[in-house]
């Protein structure tokens, strides 16, 4: 396979959440908040970046790799995102640039012996509320348990997602595997299924893979809130998420961070 030093992956970004409940992806709302247009979701920027370690390590990366992504500046719909991977010892340092702007940074590793997944008892089942409360310090208090609604990962979902993220690797289609970006969207869904949010921004994720999700699996993210805090006028929430296949098999353990209240909307 190509070495990370020579591997540059270019993709035309697509905002597949234009019509989502999160209006940070809507051009009009995002422009009122000072952005050029609707933001391409951070989970999709993560998806673009994941192509580089996959090309280097192959399926092993999806089985036991670890990848961290931090999103600093927006990637916009229709613009070119360029992912670069550089070898740094046993680690691949990642960056995503668009129109000369550094939009995201990260790193990927491939543990020889991945850590054991956390016990399921740390992530008890929870039922999303019938009437979601507004996102605030109480509804997103540290220690609260959350869960998303289960989703069926089928061929239609797989084909649609691979099309939307312009994924060039053939392994997902050939082996019927779930893309890392698709899995990470479940962590966003934990928030959406449990609270009503104003425009919000996913700012980073630390993902340890524990297995492969395949077409036919029912997927769910269970989570508890680790922290709720303020930084530079924004309100952040950190989630500890475990993504499961068929209610019992760990697929990925994720530390997921989002700004749930922008300082622009504090009052």
Q: Is the pTM of this model over 0.75?
A: yes
Q: Distance (Å, rounded) from C-alpha 17 to C-alpha 185?
A: 11
Tokens read off for 12 = 């035309």
- Of 200 and 267, which is predicted with more confidence? 200
Lowest mean pLDDT among 18-22, 31-35, 87-91, 128-132: 18-22
**DSSP secondary structure letter of residue 133:** P
pLDDT at 125 over 50: yes
- Domain ranges in the chain are 4-265
pLDDT for res 167 = 96
Site of tokens 């499961």:
244
Mean pLDDT rounded to a whole number for the chain? 92
Q: At 114, give phi and psi (nearest 5°).
A: -65, 155
For residue 230, list its beta bridge partners.
Answer: 235
Q: Which fold has domain 4-265?
A: Thiol Ester Dehydrase; Chain A (3.10.129)
Q: Which residues of 161-193 are buried (b: 16+ CB within 10 A; e: fewer)?
A: bbebbbbebebbeeebbbbbbbbbbbbbbbbbb
pLDDT digits (tens, 9 = 90+) for 16-40: 887 678 778 888 888 888 888 889 9
């Amino acid at each position: 396979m190509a070495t990370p030093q020579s591997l540059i992956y270019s993709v035309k970004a697509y905002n597949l959440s234009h019509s989502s409940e999160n209006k940070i992806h809507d051009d009009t709302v995002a422009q009122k908040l000072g952005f050029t247009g609707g933001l391409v979701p951070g989970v999709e920027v993560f998806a673009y970046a994941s192509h580089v370690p996959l090309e280097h390590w192959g399926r092993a990366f999806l089985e036991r790799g670890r990848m961290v992504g931090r999103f600093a500046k927006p990637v916009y719909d229709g613009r070119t995102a360029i992912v670069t991977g550089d070898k740094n010892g046993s680690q691949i340092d990642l960056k995503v640039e668009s129109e000369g702007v550094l939009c995201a940074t990260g790193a990927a590793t491939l543990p020889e012996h991945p850590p054991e997944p956390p016990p399921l008892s740390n992530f008890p089942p929870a039922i999303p509320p019938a009437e979601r409360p507004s996102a605030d310090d109480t509804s997103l208090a540290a220690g609260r348990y959350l869960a998303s609604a289960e989703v069926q990962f089928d061929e239609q979902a797989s084909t649609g997602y691979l099309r939307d993220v312009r994924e060039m690797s053939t392994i997902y289609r050939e082996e019927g595997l779930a893309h890392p970006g698709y899995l990470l969207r479940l962590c966003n869904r934990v928030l959406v299924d449990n609270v009503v949010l104003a425009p919000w921004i996913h700012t980073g994720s630390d993902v340890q893979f524990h297995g492969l999700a395949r077409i036919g699996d029912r997927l769910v993210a269970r989570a508890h809130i680790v922290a709720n805090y303020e930084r530079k006028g924004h309100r952040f929430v950190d989630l500890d998420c475990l993504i499961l296949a068929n209610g019992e098999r760990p697929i990925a353990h994720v530390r997921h961070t989002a700004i749930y209240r922008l300082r622009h909307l504090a009052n």
